[in-house]
Amino acid sequence: MQYFVVMIDYGRRGREAVVDPEITRREVISRIASGEYRNISFIHEIVENAVEDVTEAILTEAALPQIPPEDVDLQANRLDHTRDLRKHERT
């Protein structure tokens, strides 16, 4: 049997351990990325009788890349602009 324990820290209000054997690694990552799980103290993966701290690995997978707006180069924008230029040349 494999499951994850996600410990959420609420500060003064205490802590909560979310333990659900039905939740997969992918679901844990999805909940972190969506913001459903915040202020995570640790994430443990339990497999049979072994416990592994996978906090860093899962938080890394859940993190969205931070791309500065000036580094975004969308090919679609260039193609749309080129198409618009051609359209105006014809008229």
Spatial contact of 8 and 40, defined as CB atoms under 8 Å apart: yes
pLDDT tens digits along 46-86: 999 999 999 999 999 888 665 555 555 555 566 666 777 77
Q: Residues with Cβ < 8 Å from 38, sequence gap 6 or more?
A: 8
Domain positions in the chain: 2-65
pTM for the full predicted model: 0.67
